[in-house]
């Protein structure tokens, strides 16, 4: 097949479902971005006194019984509950009906970095305390990461292509990109794409604490996540899920759906450098950004806003700034760049789709979300990071970055929908 621009179907976003630390549902999530709501608090899921890091972006007001029966919920790990609810909210937002006419042409791609870690912790304890016969028959089906996409298909009846991407914190960005490609190559008309994570558990926290990757600003948890700020000292973990409804443009218009934005470019690469540290020269990240721009047929000067990976770690923020400068040159100084992780925490496998949803928010509302907790500029991070308050600005083209352990990089470019 010849991949000419005129031969590829256009792909639009027609639904958004969100379960996040700053709001459940698209409206609450968008309001959180608009008001720079801070979702980071001291951990409540377990007693964190013995941990180097004691705060996180938890989804505190989530009542799964509001969306499904207790029987259904009991068989799903928390990350899969988040996935199922986000998918239902996205489908409702899109006013989409998945029926016998559409189900074979509707697929799912979800990103997840870790899966049902709380189930693994509980079942290992049971096994060591009471023996292997006490392990639940639902242990494996609950903990494996592909149950995010599998359960969405089971609950919605979608029988099209179904995949799970596990590229760490780039997973949901790659999920969006692969769903985009599936529609472009004609294998589906509708794709439910996104990511989910729920790793705020004793073992999950202990592992990241052992890496010394998370902030230790425990006496002021709401100010701990400060991307690009000189005083940043590590990321803050978040949890949640977001699902986007992607549709082939003709399909969306035929059912009179409202396109929030158009997905126009996808780029992926690897640093090939280190298991957890980014390439200090930003080569892999820059390559993914260039590939996304080339895929979209856009120039660097066409981009108005970047939702950065922006983890609040000393290395990532400096390296990402370097990569942006490599790609955008002088235009880097004109770009608005912000990290919504400052509000939600780092949602790991769901981080990428959270960034893309923030780009859609900027395009849809004309408000660019802020980087909150930005207090002291860092000479190594010298771009416009939209400090502390959302900014009124026209955004026609936005880019979102996601980078993961193992050097995985994913980038999506969204554009204002124009017929």
The beta-strand segments (E) located in 190-239 are 190-197
The pLDDT of residue 72 is: 87
Average pLDDT, the chain: 96
Other CB atoms within 10 Å distance of the CB of residue 148: 38
> Which candidate, 395, 396, 371, places its Cα nearest to that of 383?
371
Q: How far apart are CA 215 and CA 298, in angstroms?
A: 37
* Model pLDDT for residues 136-187, shown as the tens digit of each residue: 999 999 999 999 999 999 999 999 999 999 999 999 999 999 999 999 999 9
Q: How far apart are CA 113 and CA 170, in angstroms?
A: 8
Is the CATH number of domain 5-254 3.40.47.10? yes
Which of these is catalytic: 112, 169, 209, 354? 169
Contacts of 155 (CB under 8 A, 6+ apart): 68, 84, 87, 88
Strand-pairing partners, residue 414, are 263, 398
The pLDDT of residue 2 is: 39
* Model pLDDT for residues 356-398, shown as the tens digit of each residue: 999 999 999 999 999 999 999 999 999 999 999 999 999 999 9
Cβ density class 28-63: b for 16+ within 10 Å, e for less:
ebbebbeebbbbbbebebeebeebbbbbbbbbeebe
Q: How far apart are CA 239 and CA 117, in angstroms?
A: 12
The pLDDT of residue 6 is: 60
Which of these is catalytic: 174, 209, 225, 309? 309
Q: How far apart are CA 361 and CA 195, in angstroms?
A: 18
Averaged pLDDT for residues 323-334:
98
* Model pLDDT for residues 87-100, shown as the tens digit of each residue: 999 999 999 999 99
> Which candidate, 228, 403, 413, 225, places its Cα nearest to that of 305?
413
Clarify whether 346 is annotated catalytic.
yes
pTM of the model: 0.97
Residue 287 confidence (pLDDT) above 80: yes
Residue 259 confidence (pLDDT) above 80: yes
Q: How confident is the model at residue 419 (pLDDT cuts 50, 70, 90)?
A: confident
Q: How far apart are CA 386 and CA 281, in angstroms?
A: 24
Clarify whether 174 is annotated catalytic.
no
> Which candidate, 80, 85, 83, 79, places its Cα nearest to that of 66?
85
The pLDDT of residue 235 is: 98
The pLDDT of residue 3 is: 45
- Domain ranges for the chain, please list them: 5-254, 265-415
Residue 1 confidence (pLDDT) above 50: no
Cβ density class 309-337: b for 16+ within 10 Å, e for less:
bbbbbeebbbbbbbbbbbbbeeebeebbb
* Model pLDDT for residues 10-28, shown as the tens digit of each residue: 999 999 999 999 999 999 9
Two tokens, residue 76? 């799903």
Q: How far is CA 167 from CA 173, 280, 402, in A?
A: 9, 20, 10
* Model pLDDT for residues 215-224, shown as the tens digit of each residue: 999 999 999 9
The pLDDT of residue 126 is: 96
3-state secondary structure 320-348: HHHHHHHHHHHHHHCCEEECCHHHHCECH
Residue 60 confidence (pLDDT) above 80: yes
Coil, strand or helix at 265: strand
The pLDDT of residue 370 is: 98
* Model pLDDT for residues 227-241, shown as the tens digit of each residue: 999 999 999 999 999
Chain centroid to CA 167: 12
The pLDDT of residue 142 is: 95
The CATH architecture that domain 265-415 belongs to is: 3-Layer(aba) Sandwich (3.40)
Residue 288 confidence (pLDDT) above 60: yes
Q: How far apart are CA 185 and CA 177, in angstroms?
A: 12
Q: How confident is the model at residue 61 (pLDDT cuts 50, 70, 90)?
A: confident
Q: Where are the alpha helices (DSSP H) in 63-170?
A: 70-74, 78-94, 117-130, 139-143, 147-156
Which of these is catalytic: 346, 359, 381, 408? 346
Q: How far apart are CA 367 and CA 325, in angstroms?
A: 24
Coil, strand or helix at 266: strand
Q: Among residues of the chain, what percentage have pLDDT more than 70?
A: 99
């Amino acid at each position: 097949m010849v991949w000419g621009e005129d031969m590829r179907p256009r792909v639009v976003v027609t639904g958004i479902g969100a379960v996040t630390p700053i709001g459940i549902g698209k409206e609450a999530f968008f309001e959180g971005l608009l008001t720079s709501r801070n979702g980071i608090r001291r951990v409540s899921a377990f007693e964190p006194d013995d941990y180097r890091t004691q705060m996180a972006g938890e989804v505190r007001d989530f009542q799964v019984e509001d969306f499904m029966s207790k029987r259904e919920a009991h068989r799903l790990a928390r990350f899969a509950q988040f996935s199922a609810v986000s998918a239902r909210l996205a489908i409702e937002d899109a006013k989409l009906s998945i029926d016998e006419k559409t189900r074979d042409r509707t697929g799912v791609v979800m990103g997840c970095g870790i899966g049902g870690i709380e189930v693994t912790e509980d079942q290992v304890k049971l096994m060591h305390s009471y023996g292997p016969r006490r392990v639940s028959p639902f242990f494996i089906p609950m903990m494996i990461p592909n149950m995010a996409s599998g359960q969405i298909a089971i609950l919605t009846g979608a029988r099209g292509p179904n995949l799970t991407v596990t590229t760490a914190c780039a997973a949901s960005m790659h999920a969006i990109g692969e769903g985009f490609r599936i529609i472009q190559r004609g294998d589906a008309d509708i794709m439910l794409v996104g990511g989910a994570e729920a790793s705020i558990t004793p073992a999950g926290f202990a592992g990241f604490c052992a890496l010394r990757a998370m902030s230790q600003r425990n006496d002021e948890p709401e100010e701990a996540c400060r991307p690009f700020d000189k005083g940043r000292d590590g990321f803050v973990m978040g949890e949640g899920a977001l699902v986007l409804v992607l549709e082939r443009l003709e399909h969306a218009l035929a059912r009179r759906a409202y396109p929030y934005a158009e997905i126009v470019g996808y780029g992926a690469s690897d640093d090939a450098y280190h298991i957890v540290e980014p390439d200090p020269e930003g080569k892999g990240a820059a390559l993914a950004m260039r590939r996304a721009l080339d895929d979209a047929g856009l120039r660097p000067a066409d981009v108005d806003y970047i939702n950065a990976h922006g983890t609040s770690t000393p290395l990532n923020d400096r390296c990402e700034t370097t990569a942006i400068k490599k790609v955008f040159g002088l235009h880097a100084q004109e770009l608005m760049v912000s990290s919504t992780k400052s509000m939600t925490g780092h949602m790991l496998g769901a981080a990428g789709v959270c960034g893309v949803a923030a780009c859609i928010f900027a395009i849809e509302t004309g408000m660019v979300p802020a980087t909150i907790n930005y207090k002291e500029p860092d000479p190594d991070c010298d771009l416009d990071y939209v400090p502390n308050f959302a900014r009124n600005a026209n955004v026609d083209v936005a880019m979102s970055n996601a980078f993961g352990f193992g050097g995985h990089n994913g980038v999506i470019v969204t554009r204002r929908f124009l017929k």
